[in-house]
């Protein structure tokens, strides 16, 4: 019984070896492709679904599936069809290059073609490749030469070198008729990002926004007439087991934001899926832009913000700063009421505005995260040129406590905000106050925006200044 089992196993091994040793049964190329779908995620990840019509012989044979992505994740590959099953598969990524060819010929004989500098006559001489690392070392007759003294002629191309990335499979077919198959796999090398162009109107209270998708293909393969889909959201990928040590202008009619006629949007699981309504070709080493959305007359609000720090509430500091810059922000709500209301993929928003001569000028940019409907979009465009602030601590007193962890202190601050513009402005002063705190006196009323944040709205007249003073008690 044991002998019979061993004999059977040996036969199976020999059959498998014989199958792999036999010439390639079938090779399928892009000429057999009937369709391809590409779904690109945010994290350098894409799902490829490659449909082809192939003809196999019945039984077990080798199938070379050529022109797959050079950055394929082979463990994710799945070939499906009605009359085919896969027994084994290998990803052949050792591509044919001059260097790779040299390395395969180490220890083997090649022909060196030398050209006479005067007559142009060519002569051939046999040489053995001794090394192909950091240059070429050849043995010609009884001497050694470094470098290539002429052209090299190779007798053939080694079987394990491929001119295109190839997935080689040991397949079993139940028919010898034509059959439709689909190879699906995950790959790196494909990515996309969203970019937005916004034009701010003359009153700084509305924006026209256009969104674009930038596609990048560095996967080592081309995808012709592909059905393209983009997934916006943070899809989780399993980490490696051992992570130790790693670290456009249009009419003025207001309407809601809509995907362009070429791009539709839908919710899928906890992500958003954007589908291009026409086939497109993604060539290898190519960047392509596709229109995503457009929204007109989106109401917005400009804000001047003076942001404080928490460190000067726990010690005596005196002067805190002079000519402190005041940030300029633009806020809007991503709602249908505001002519938006479309889930927006993360990306950079670049804002422009016409000058007095109607010439468009760049005024700032900021990055947004994935933004669902009805969420606030806040962009920092820069710092105001004509608005500055001087800030100082005018008094500091320890009231009680024997250690720094128990101190109760009172401190007084003076913030002078200057306005060099020809119109009045309102500056939002935001101070992060640590510990248990209470405002004892103030020249303007504050709002407690959060448990550790006091906010004042300070109006500053044209070409003038306003002084904000307040005293705060802090228990650390």
Per-residue pLDDT of 90-113, as tens digits, reads 887 656 677 777 787 788 888 888
Q: For residue 24, name the pLDDT band (cuts at 50, 70, 90).
A: very low
3-state secondary structure of 378: strand
Average the pLDDT over 62-85 and give the result.
92
Q: How many CA within 13 A on the CB side of residue 376?
A: 6
pLDDT at position 146 over 90: no
For residue 342, what are the CA distances in angstroms to 233, 274, 290, 336?
A: 14, 11, 17, 8
- Rounded CA separation 471/476 (Å): 16
Query: What are the beta bridge partners of residue 80?
Result: 182
The answer to whether the beta carbons of residues 444 and 417 sit under 8 Å apart is no
For residue 445, what are the CA distances in angstroms to 412, 441, 468?
A: 15, 9, 10
Instruction: Output 165 or 69, whichever has higher pLDDT.
Output: 69
3-state secondary structure of 373: coil
3-state secondary structure of 316: coil
pLDDT at position 157 over 50: yes
Quick one: what percent of the chain has pLDDT higher than 90?
A: 62
pLDDT at position 16 over 50: no
The answer to whether the beta carbons of residues 290 and 280 sit under 8 Å apart is yes
3-state secondary structure of 164: coil
- Rounded CA separation 295/450 (Å): 33
pLDDT at position 22 over 70: no
Of 78, 94, 82, 83, the C-alpha closest to 169 is 78
Q: What's the maximum distance between 2 C-alpha atoms anywhere in the chain?
A: 104
pLDDT at position 142 over 90: no
Q: Both tokens of residue 466?
A: 């306003």
Q: For residue 5, name the pLDDT band (cuts at 50, 70, 90).
A: very low
Residues 6+ apart with CB under 8 A from 324: 306, 388, 389, 390, 391
Q: How much helix, strand and coil, in percent to the nearest 5, is found in the chain?
A: 10, 60, 35
Q: What is the pLDDT of residues 209-249, one digit of tens each?
A: 999 999 999 998 999 999 999 998 878 888 776 544 443 33
Average the pLDDT over 417-421 and give the result.
97
Of 322, 327, 323, 320, the C-alpha closest to 306 is 327
Q: What is the pLDDT of residue 93?
A: 60
Among the listed ranges 46-50, 241-245, 463-467, which one has the minimum average pLDDT value? 241-245
Among the listed ranges 18-32, 335-349, 366-380, which one has the minimum average pLDDT value? 18-32
pLDDT at position 254 over 50: no
- Rounded CA separation 364/380 (Å): 8
Q: What is the pLDDT of residue 42?
A: 84
The answer to whether the beta carbons of residues 157 and 31 sit under 8 Å apart is no
Q: Both tokens of residue 48?
A: 């490829």
Q: 122-126, 234-238, 251-255, 285-289: which has the highest mean pLDDT?
A: 285-289
Average the pLDDT over 414-427 and give the result.
97
Q: What is the pLDDT of residue 234?
A: 79
Q: What is the pLDDT of residue 272?
A: 87
Q: For residue 170, name the pLDDT band (cuts at 50, 70, 90).
A: very high
pLDDT at position 15 over 70: no
Handedness of CA 266, 269, 271, 274 (dihedral sign): negative
pLDDT at position 402 over 70: yes
Among the listed ranges 16-30, 76-90, 354-368, which one has the minimum average pLDDT value? 16-30
Residues 6+ apart with CB under 8 A from 398: 407, 408, 409
Quick one: what percent of the chain has pLDDT higher than 70?
A: 88
- Rounded CA separation 202/197 (Å): 16
For residue 279, report the phi and psi dihedrals to the nearest 5 degrees. Answer: -65, 150
Average the pLDDT over 375-392 and give the result.
97
The answer to whether the beta carbons of residues 79 and 169 sit under 8 Å apart is yes
Average the pLDDT over 406-428 and give the result.
95
């Amino acid at each position: 019984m044991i002998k019979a089992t061993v004999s059977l196993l040996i036969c199976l091994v020999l059959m498998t070896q014989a199958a792999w040793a036999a010439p390639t049964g079938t090779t399928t190329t892009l000429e057999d492709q009937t369709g391809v779908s590409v779904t690109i995620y945010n994290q350098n990840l894409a799902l490829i679904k490659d449909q082809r019509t192939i003809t196999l012989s019945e039984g077990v044979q080798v199938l070379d599936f050529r022109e797959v992505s050079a950055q394929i994740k082979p463990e994710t590959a799945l070939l499906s069809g009605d009359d085919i099953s896969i027994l084994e598969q290998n990803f052949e990524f050792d591509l044919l290059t001059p260097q790779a060819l040299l390395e395969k010929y180490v220890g083997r004989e090649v022909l060196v073609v030398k050209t006479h500098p005067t007559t142009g006559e060519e002569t051939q001489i046999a040489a053995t490749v001794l090394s192909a690392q950091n240059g070429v070392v050849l043995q010609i007759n009884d001497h050694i030469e470094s470098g290539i003294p002429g052209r090299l002629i190779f007798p053939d191309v080694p079987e394990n070198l491929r001119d295109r990335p190839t997935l080689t499979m040991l397949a079993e077919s139940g028919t010898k008729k034509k059959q439709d198959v689909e190879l699906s796999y995950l790959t790196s090398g494909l990515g996309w990002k969203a970019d937005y162009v916004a034009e701010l109107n003359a009153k700084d209270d509305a924006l026209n926004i256009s969104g674009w998708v930038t596609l990048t293909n560095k996967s080592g393969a081309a995808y012709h007439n592909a059905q393209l889909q983009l997934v916006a959201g943070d899809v989780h990928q399993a980490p490696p087991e051992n992570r130790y040590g790693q670290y456009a202008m249009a009419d003025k009619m207001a309407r809601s934001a809509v995907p362009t006629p070429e791009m539709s949007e839908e919710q899928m699981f906890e992500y958003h899926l954007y589908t291009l309504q026409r086939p497109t070709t993604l060539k290898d080493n190519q960047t392509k832009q596709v229109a995503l959305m457009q929204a007109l007359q989106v109401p917005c609000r400009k804000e001047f913000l003076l942001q404080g720090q928490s460190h000067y509430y726990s010690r005596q500091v005196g002067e805190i700063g002079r000519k402190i810059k005041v940030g300029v922000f633009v806020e809007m709500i991503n709602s249908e009421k505001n002519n938006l209301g479309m889930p927006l993929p993360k990306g950079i928003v670049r804002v422009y505005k016409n000058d007095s001569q109607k010439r468009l000028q760049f005024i700032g940019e900021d990055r947004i995260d994935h933004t669902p409907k009805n969420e606030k979009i806040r962009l920092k465009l820069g710092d105001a040129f004509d608005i500055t602030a001087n800030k100082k601590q005018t008094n500091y007193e320890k009231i009680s406590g024997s250690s720094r962890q128990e101190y109760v202190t009172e401190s007084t601050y003076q913030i002078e905000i200057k306005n060099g513009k020809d119109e009045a402005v309102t500056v939002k002063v935001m101070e992060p106050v640590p510990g248990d705190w209470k405002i004892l006196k103030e020249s303007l009323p504050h709002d407690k925006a959060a448990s550790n944040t006091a906010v004042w709205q300070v109006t500053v007249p044209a070409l003038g200044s306003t002084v904000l003073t307040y005293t705060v008690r802090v228990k650390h």
